[in-house]
Each structure stands twice: as C-alpha cells, then as structure tokens.
Amino acid sequence: MQEYDLIIKGGTIATASDTFDADIGIRDGTIVTLGKDLGKAKRVIDADGQLILPGGIDAHCHIEQESSTKIMTADDFYSGSVSAAFGGNTTFIPFAAQHRGQSLREVVKIAHERAGPKSVIDYAFHLIISDANENVLGQELPALIQEGYTSFKVYLTYEMLKISDRQMLDVLSVARTYGAMTMVHAENDDVISWISDRLLMRGNTAPKFHAIAHAEIAESEASRRAIDLARLVDAELLIVHVSAPEAAEAILKARNNGIPIYGETCPQYLFLTKDDLDRNGMEGAMFCCSPPPRDKSGQEAIWRGLKNGTFQVFSSDHAPYRYDESGKLKNGPNASFKKIANGVPGLEVRMPLLFSEGVGKGRLTLNEFVALTSTNAAKIYGLHPRKGTIAIGSDADLAIWDPDWERTITQSIMHDNMDYTPYEGMKVKGWPRIVINQGRVVVENEELQVVRGSGSFLDRAPKFTEPRGFGAGTPLSPERSFDADIS
Ligand code: DUC
Ligand code: ZN
Ligand code: ZN
C-alpha cells in the first residue's frame, strides 16, 4: 500500500508566519506530514523552484446572486468557482442574499441549491440581511448563527437594502450575543442621493458622475458611524470594500485603541481610479462599483493600509455584470449612472495582481500576502485552522505558484462568464500553475481537472455556544444596563 495519496516535493512553503523548504505528504484530503524524504505516494508533484501557498480564500464575491434591482450576476457557481480556482483559490464565500420579504431560511436553501451541484471548490455563505424584522432578529438569525452561518453583511445605502442605525444596532447586538461577525457596506445613503439629485438635475448622467455622487465623505462618515455603533454594543465589525483614505484611518484608529474592528479592501482600489469611469461613451460603466475607485493618492493610502494593519482581508468583491443588456447596459445605452449595475469582476486576478504588484514590487512580504489573501479570512470567518494555512491536520488546500510566470491579463484567458476585465492589458509576474483543494488537483496544465459539484460546503461554528451578554461574566456597568436582559 502507498503511504500517501500525494506528495509535493521540492517547493518553498510560505504561510502567514513562516517560509521554509519542506515536502508535503497528503492523505485523504488532509496534510499529514511536512518533512523530507517522505517515501512513497500514488503521485508525486515536483515543485522545484515553485512557491507552495495556502489556497486562496476569497471572502467577498457575488455569485449567482440577484441584485436588489433584479439583475442576475453573470457567474453562477460553476463559472465563478472555476474562475476562482484558476486564480489560486480553493475556498470562496459568496452571499446568500435576503431580499425584503424573504425569510433567511429560504435564502439559505436557495444558495445551497445553487452552489451544491456546481461549485468546483469549497464554499461557505455570508448572509445579507436587508429585512431586519422581529422574526429575523429574534428567531431566524440566532438559529442560523448557531447552525454555522456566522457572518452577515448589512448595507447603510441602496434603497432596497439599507438598514437604519437602529436596525444596525439590533443586528450588531444579535451578532454580539451569539458570536457572529457583522460586515458592513458603509456609505451614507442621504449624502449619495443628495449629490445624485443635484447632478441629475443638471443633466450630469454619465458613468463618471457615479464617483462624484459616492463621495469619499459618504464612505468615511458611514464608516465612523458604523464603528461607533459597534462600540456602543461592544460588537465586532468588519468594514468591507474600503476605498476612502479617511475610512481606512478610522479603522486603524479603532484597532489601535483595541476595538475589534476589521477592514477589507479589494483590487479595484489599488489598480483603478475614478478616471477609469470617464472612458469613452458608456465604457466607464465597466468600472462603476461602490464605493468607487478614488485617485492615485487614494491608491497609495490603501497600499499603506495593507501594510500597516488597517486591512486584514483582501477580497475581490467580484460582482460580475457583463457590458451588455444582461448587465451594465440593462437600462439602455444612455442610462444615468444611477441605473448602472454596481460591481466589477476580479475573482481570478485578485491574487496574481497583489502578488505581482505587492510581493513582486517589494510592497508586501510573501507572508503578508498569504495572511491577506487566505489566513486572516479563515480566522475571521471561522475556518481556521482547517483552512488558510499549511499545517499537519489542515485540509490539503494548496496553490503551487510559479513566481516567474509572466502573463498579460486579458479577458480571453479568464474563466469567468464575463465579457470584459477591468484590468485588460496589465502585465503581471507570478501565477499559480497547480491548484489543489482537499487533495484533489483542481487546476493543472492550464486545464480544469475536476467535475462540477465536486467542491464541499464548509461547516462553521459560532465563536461560543451559549448566548452571551455584555461583559461576558463581569458585572454590567450602569451605561450598559440597557442590555441587562441578555446577560
Ligand atoms: N457592494 C458590494 O459589496 N459589491 C458590489 C457592489 C456593492 O455595492
Ligand atoms: Zn457592498
Ligand atoms: Zn460586494
């Protein structure tokens, strides 16, 4: 009998903390040995000259999801997961999105029906809560958290999604009590609609006005407010897709004060600017996302945030709407910026872009890259140490990177169902050659090696099993007595 199913030998392993040379022995989908001269295996992969990194975890992507204005994303769980795999990911966490009036149970059931038969990599779901009613807050959400749906996103903007500050406090309190993570889309809705109305009144409808309407102050104000709401109820909070320097500063300040605030940013805030929204005719629509890309100095601030501990997570926020009538142009070729589906694709290029421009250009260490693209998401979202690292007992989720592979990003090499990439023509150095998920070789020789539906749903656990009130065992302070009923 062979001792291992698979040995990967000769490569350099990097985790979030260490870089070392070792061979990896894999059995039944799990890493069972790290060492040298491991002996026999059914298959040996020679990784000489290659980097072996934990498979990427894309913790923010919209897959087979209907927007609040009823536009379906171009990627389903098959094309989305294939694209993710070709970009070095072995896990992704799309959203199970509630539309108002829907029960969360129904939303979760639909997400499973969509993902199970199609995903080629492992997956979990964040919930999106747009209807924070009594039943959702009192019954469904606590029950779902205890079943392992331990993260959810709320919006402070968008007509059909936004929740009030009061509802935000309710959601944060439930998360605090049952051990879940709240993620927030932080933009001030009134600021955006106030500016938008003025722009539209003057006939300023082109895509470039999207970036003006979604002012940096709209983002930084809402971020600061969200942080304060979380402080009030002593809850953890993760601010997603941060693009405004002042929002980043607010996160860092909170973290430096020991407040459990986390930050996420995305490729579009490092590699695009608001000028991209000002391309010919409607072409700027391809770059409309919220929050929008800022300017060059904003990009530099986001790079700094990746280095200085502002951001723990680097996600794609893949929100794929094609540049045609099914997506960006659904409301016609002359639609105003208010009527353009928000979002850009990025699942497949998230890691190669950050590797090339971050590690390759000396802005980040290889270990920081691993932390930002895999390990921290696993820790924050309850998947570590099964995911996000290379250790004995962890899933054999590995990406074997060729650090010298030079590629030009172009839509024809992407595996998603899009008709454009915002990064068309960018040259990058470094890309994964082999991607392994639970010991299965998913990508090799630039081809998909597995069948649809071969990925697994990942069970997660809440941070604690008994509901907790403020202070967790310590006497309530008078200022906190409003929460006495749950302590
Ligand atoms: N928010 C997201 O999280 N993704 C795409 C667009 C948006 O507004
Ligand atoms: Zn958002
Ligand atoms: Zn998103």
Report pLDDT digits (tens) over 63-107: 999 998 899 999 999 999 999 999 999 999 999 999 999 999 999
242 close to ligand 1 (CB < 6 Angstrom)? no
Residue 473 has pLDDT above 50, yes or no: no
Angle at CA 166, nearest 5°, toward 162 and 170? 95
Residue 347 has pLDDT above 70, yes or no: yes
CA distance 359 to 361: 6
| Helix-, strand-, coil-residue percentages of the chain, each rounded to 5 | 35, 20, 45
Q: In this predicted model, what pLDDT tens digit does every residue of 163-182 receive, in sequence order?
A: 999 999 999 999 999 999 99
Q: 396 or 473: whose pLDDT is higher?
A: 396
Segment 285-297 mean pLDDT: 98
Q: Where are the alpha helices (DSSP H) in 257-401?
A: 268-271, 296-307, 350-354, 366-370, 376-380
3-state secondary structure 443-485: EECCEECCCCCCCCECCCCCCCCCCCCCCCCCCCCHHHHHHHH
CA 461 from chain centre, in angstroms, equals 19
Q: In this predicted model, what pLDDT tens digit does every residue of 226-275 receive, in sequence order?
A: 999 999 999 999 999 999 999 999 999 999 999 999 999 999 999 999 99
For residue 201, what are the CA distances in angstroms to 82, 146, 333?
Answer: 44, 49, 19
For ligand 1, atom 1: residue with the closest CA: 290
**Given this model, what pLDDT does residue 477 score?**
55
210 close to ligand 1 (CB < 6 Angstrom)? no
**Given this model, what pLDDT does residue 463 score?**
79
392 CA to centre of ligand 3 in angstroms: 33
CA distance 134 to 131: 9
DSSP state of 163: -
Q: In this predicted model, what pLDDT tens digit does every residue of 7-52 receive, in sequence order?
A: 999 999 999 999 999 999 999 999 999 999 999 999 999 999 999 9
Model confidence band, residue 154 (pLDDT cutoffs 50, 70, 90):
very high
Extents of the domains making up the chain: 56-380
Average pLDDT, the chain: 96
Nearest-atom number in ligand 1 for the CA of 342 is 6
Place of tokens 């068309």: 424
CA dihedral 97, 460, 261, 98 (to 10 degrees): 10
Identify which of 93, 185, 214, 321 to mutate to test ligand 1's pocket (most ligand atoms within 8 A of the CB).
185
Can you read off the two tokens belonging to residue 470? 């403020």
Nearest to residue 311, comparing CAs of 247, 402, 231? 247
**Given this model, what pLDDT does residue 468 score?**
82
240 CA to centre of ligand 1 in angstroms: 9
Angle at CA 188, nearest 5°, toward 186 and 191? 155
For ligand 1, atom 3: residue with the closest CA: 317
Tell me the torsion sign for CA atoms 333, 337, 340, 346: positive
Model confidence band, residue 467 (pLDDT cutoffs 50, 70, 90):
confident
Q: Find the distance separating the first CA and the last CA of the chain, reported in whole Å.
A: 56
CA dihedral 299, 304, 305, 307 (to 10 degrees): 130
Angle at CA 46, nearest 5°, toward 43 and 52? 105
| % of the chain at pLDDT higher than 90 | 93
SS3 assignment, position 3: coil
CA 131 from chain centre, in angstroms, equals 22
Where is 194: in which H helix or E strand? Answer: helix 189-201
For ligand 1, atom 8: residue with the closest CA: 290
Model confidence band, residue 1 (pLDDT cutoffs 50, 70, 90):
low
Residue 464 has pLDDT above 90, yes or no: no
Can you read off the two tokens belonging to residue 334? 């002359």
5 — phi, psi (to 5°)? -75, -40
Identify which of 342, 347, 350 to mutate to test ligand 1's pocket (most ligand atoms within 8 A of the CB).
342
367 — phi, psi (to 5°)? -70, -35
Residue type (1 letter), 340: I
Residue 474 has pLDDT above 50, yes or no: no
CA distance 381 to 461: 9
Tell me the torsion sign for CA atoms 145, 187, 236, 272: positive
CATH number for 56-380: choose from 3.30.420.40, 3.20.20.140, 3.40.50.150, 3.40.50.970. 3.20.20.140
Please, which residues bridge with residue 181 across strands? 151
318 CA to centre of ligand 3 in angstroms: 7
Query: Pairing mode, if any, of strands 151-155 and 181-185?
Result: parallel
Identify which of 289, 316, 328 to mutate to test ligand 1's pocket (most ligand atoms within 8 A of the CB).
289
Where is 90: in which H helix or E strand? Answer: strand 89-97
Query: Pairing mode, if any, of strands 89-97 and 122-123?
Result: parallel
Segment 348-355 mean pLDDT: 99
- Classify each residue of 302-333 as buried b or exposed e, where b means 16 or more C-beta atoms within 10 Å of its C-beta: bbebbeeebbbbbbbbbbbbbeeeebbbbeee
